[in-house]
Amino acid sequence: MRNKRRIWLSGFTFCCLLVACAKRPEVDEGEDYIYCLNRDKTGLFKVACEIPKGTAAEAAEEVLKSMAEPSEDIQYMAAIPENVTVDSLKVEHDIAYLDFSESYQELPDIEEKLVRAAVVQSLVRLDGISGVWMTAGQEILKSESGVAFGVMNGDDFVQNTGSGPNAYEQTTLTLFFSNETGDKLVKQQMDVRYNSNVSKEKLIVEKLMGGPKKGGAYPTMNPAAALLSVTIKEGTCYVNFDSEFLNSVYDVRPEITIYSIVNSLLEGTNAGNVQIMVNGEKNVAYQETVDLSQPIARDLTWEESTE
């Protein structure tokens, strides 16, 4: 039988490194916090919690420990149920890989979604973590339709904070696609109606993957690629694709694919550069041509002149 244990019982050394998080329900502006469940198990509740310093894995371990601590406060309860344990945790290439005990699979559907949302949204707030891969009993978590959740970030969950969960907004995106010859970027305005809970950066990448809607522009990205996560931290937009992204299906220069992503994101967000990853790995060269190991800044030389 596999040896199961709570990750926070990992030894005296770790306990000396980190001080347990003191939780309280009031969250002041600029304070660290984690997510717990409200007492009705109908939504999430922010709880002030000073995140200890350390590696991303150490901070994540302490956060998960705090999320499992029982609460006597009438406003919220622990996000991780008492009968669910964390069997393993590792952080690699900004992705936290988290395995719960098999009892996680027995959670009611609504509660499971809330627990998953609380865990993911608490962990991606930590430096060095941009996405979370969760399993239970080493089994991949899947939706009711059997689709694997994959790497999740905060954009995968709707937060109802006054506007309804189905609130939609209208915006105009400036996106860069390929010209006919595949050697320059052409600018295209796209009017979109979107769920207000979806981040601008995720919306931009998804629309790029869907291709242009008007003539005179051509797609740049493999439509079979999967967007695993996209988030902005400290001025850098981190975009994480699966390995299918590396398989080009269009006759465009490799630089055109990369800078269609970079220039579109930097045009439409407050990010200063873009870090493209494949399965969480940065040490990648797209089409053996474009180095993705470092964040990439906008390059106007690839944009076709309108003069």
- Select from 118, 134, 265 the least CA-distant residue to 202: 265
Cβ contacts of residue 73 below 8 Å, gap of 6+? 25
Model pLDDT for residues 231-256, shown as the tens digit of each residue: 888 899 999 888 889 998 899 999 99
pLDDT band at 230, cuts 50/70/90?
Answer: confident
- Do residues 119 and 127 make contact, with C-beta atoms less than 8 angstroms apart? no
Model pLDDT for residues 182-202, shown as the tens digit of each residue: 999 999 999 988 766 678 998
Model pLDDT for residues 158-167, shown as the tens digit of each residue: 554 333 344 5
* Averaged pLDDT for residues 210-222: 91
Helix ranges (DSSP H) in the chain: 12-17, 56-68, 109-123, 200-210, 254-268
Residue 16 confidence (pLDDT) above 50? no
Mark residue 17 as left, alpha or beta (left: phi above 0; alpha: psi -120 to 50; beta: remaining): alpha
Output the pTM of the full model: 0.54
**Which three-class secondary structure state does DSSP give residue 219?**
coil
* pLDDT at residue 3, as a whole number: 40
